[in-house]
Amino acid sequence: MKKILVAIFTCLAFQTIAQDGTIYPLETPKEPNAIPLNTGLVKDQPAPETWFRQWGDPMARNISSATLTPFFPEKGKANGSVVIVAPGGGYRWLSMGNEGWEVAEALAKKGITAFVLKYRLFPTPEKLEDFTAWMNRPRPAPVKTDSAAKNTNPMAQMDLSNQLQDAEAAYAMIVKNAAAWGVDTKRIGMIGFSAGAGLTMHATLNSQTMKLAFIGPIYGGMGAVKVPKDAPPMFSAIASDDFLFNAQFGVIDSWFKAGRPVEFHLYQNGGHGFGLGNPNRTSNKWFDAFIHWLDVNKFLVAAKAE
């Protein structure tokens, strides 16, 4: 199979767009290189997949058919490592630009073959105005918990069967095409943001088919978990002013007590959903730290020439 070159940004990146929190309609972009995962459709999905913009970023909702979009390094730059990128959005939408394509493009520039996973979501109202009203609904303040508490993030209680199946199908597709895509099946990792971090953790704790070499849950739930004996090394980052932090260190403590490699970055500020970084925030350097962590742990060792 020939390597797939990604051109998604050509129809999105140069538009003049508002940078505020208002939700704007967006024409569904062409994704010519998105590979169907054929994991089935969402049951009782009342509305078709649609897109919108918020904070200037393209986002998708009512995803009923999962896909995988590859971002390959420039010729001669690939080191063999792979990262599956899982955007966030509370399992109701996906921040495809901020937490998907942009991250994958940055990884590819470092010689890492990246794949953006557009996984299936729970349904949202078909009309954008109804979805906007749902998004703007009042929310209760987070409850304070101690660091050893179980995960109090309500997303942790969701049935993620579809999402896990999508992640497993993405992993299997990468393994199947490893030779054609020039990747090392022993260096397949997964990184996720917010709900995508939750999916990354869910796959790590529950999948019987994914053997991830490393994981990077970024601003995900921080509650304690039961760590498998063979859990992969973990890089985690979150800002102290993120509502999901809530003074919890449970997942970090769990990894540490299980004797598994863990690196944790708690940033002074950055809020939630900072992606590769917002201006004038200390969390802006997390990606550099992640790449350094991968390098020190020998995940970026150049693939040997055949």
What structural domains does the chain harbor? 17-296 (3.40.50.1820)
50-54 and 24-26 as β-strands: parallel, antiparallel, unpaired? antiparallel
Per-residue pLDDT band at 144 (split at 50, 70, 90): low
Handedness of CA 249, 252, 255, 256 (dihedral sign): negative
CB atoms within 10 A of CB 147: 15
Q: List strands edge to edge, sheet with 57-61.
A: 24-26, 50-54, 57-61, 93-95
pLDDT of residue 100: 98
Q: What is the DSSP letter of 187?
A: G
Query: Whole-angstrom Cα distance, residue 195 to residue 305?
Result: 38
Task: List the helix and strand counts (H, then E) for the chain.
Answer: 7, 12
End-to-end CA distance of the chain: 18
d(CA 234, CA 203): 13
- Compute the mean pLDDT over every residue in the chain, rounded to the nearest whole number: 89
Tens digits of residue pLDDT in 104-135: 999 999 999 999 999 999 999 999 999 999 88
Report the greatest alpha carbon distance in the chain.
58
Q: What amino acid occupies position 18?
A: A
Three-state SS for 102? helix
**pLDDT tens track for 212-270:** 999 999 999 999 999 999 999 999 999 999 999 999 999 999 999 999 999 999 999 99
pTM: 0.90
| pLDDT at residue 142 in the model | 60
Q: Is 175 helix (H, G, I), strand (E, B) or coil?
A: helix
| pLDDT above 70: residue 10 | no
- Going by pLDDT thresholds of 50, 70 and 90, the confidence category of residue 156 is low
Q: What is the rounded CA–CA span in Å between residue 56 and residue 23?
A: 9
pLDDT in tens, 40-60: 988 777 789 999 999 889 999
